[in-house]
Amino acid sequence: MTDTPFHFKAGSAPLFISIPHLGQDIPAALRSRMTPVAQTVADTDWHLDRLYAFAEAMGASILGARYSRYVIDLNRPPDDESLYPGQTKTGLCPAASFRGEPLYLEGAAPDAAEQARRLADYWQPYHDQLTREIARIKAAHGHVLLWEAHSIASVLPRLFDGKLPDLNIGTSDGKTCAPALQEAVQRELEANGDYTWAVNGRFKGGYITRHYGNPGQGVHAIQLEMCQSTYMDETFPFGYRDDLAGRVQPLVQRMVAAAAKALG
């Protein structure tokens, strides 16, 4: 692979938006081994670059994946350890969709050697870029807010019961950012009257939030997992809904801005 497996734009503020499940690309050789279900890349965090378009004007650095999480999940540990022990695991190189549908044709799932190659070709470059940009922002500003942008279908019985709250903040039970930042975000959620929400509920932050968030070292990480029903159609072809997005986007912007202000 010769192309860069991510999109990146450096900013001027101590704010870094990471969108590790934005990608939809699947290499042609791999696509030929995958099921029709896999080729819809249904579990993409659709349109989040568009939803977070406000961040560029805030001076944020923005990093987004090019390749689908079906190739490799950038928000899982490199050793594939479960983030939520006792719950269904979606995996570093998933073999099934969130709905439990097979992603590979019979006998075509990747072996350990192929998974190691994907780790080197796709996972490691994204994390190297995360590490470089966090270091650059810290050198310039002394601290950084790493905002992990995610979205998911609102009803997925294989992964959680019932309907997920609309907006889900994860800070690994307060470990990945200073209390003032989490409190600032929560105040914005409490002030809204349109959306259900949770803080450190079903989603507490994935590998990136947990691994990089280190408030004692000036790195404050917050994950927002949004129900896709708040801004798009959850069924194929997964269209962006301006009428829905126009309502939720200002709240997302206020949350990001509140956390950035609390960072000082």
Q: Looking at the predicted structure, is the pLDDT value of residue 1 above 50?
A: no
Spatial distance between the Cα atoms of 210 and 17, rounded to a whole number of angstroms: 15
Q: Give pLDDT tens digits for 62-96.
A: 999 999 999 999 999 999 999 999 999 899 999 99
Ramachandran assignment for 67, one of left (phi > 0), alpha (psi -120 to 50 degrees), beta (any other): beta
- Residue 21 to residue 165: CA distance in whole angstroms: 20
* pLDDT digits 0-9 by tens, 155-167: 999 999 999 999 9
Confidence class of residue 105 from pLDDT cuts 50, 70 and 90? very high
- Does 1.10.3720.10 match the CATH number of domain 6-263? no
| CA–CA gap between residue 23 and residue 78 (Å, rounded) | 19
d(CA 75, CA 169): 16
Question: How far apart are alpha carbons 82 and 92 in whole angstroms?
Answer: 9
- Percentage of the chain exceeding pLDDT 90: 98
Collect all residues with Cβ–Cβ distance below 8 Å to 263 and sequence separation of at least 6. 14, 143, 145, 178, 181, 220
At 129, list the tokens.
């870029």
d(CA 7, CA 81): 27
What is the pLDDT of the chain when averaged over all its residues? Answer: 97
Return d(Cα 82, Cα 21) in angstroms, integer: 18
- Residue 120 DSSP class: I
pLDDT tens digits for range 217-260: 999 999 999 999 999 999 999 999 999 999 999 999 999 999 99
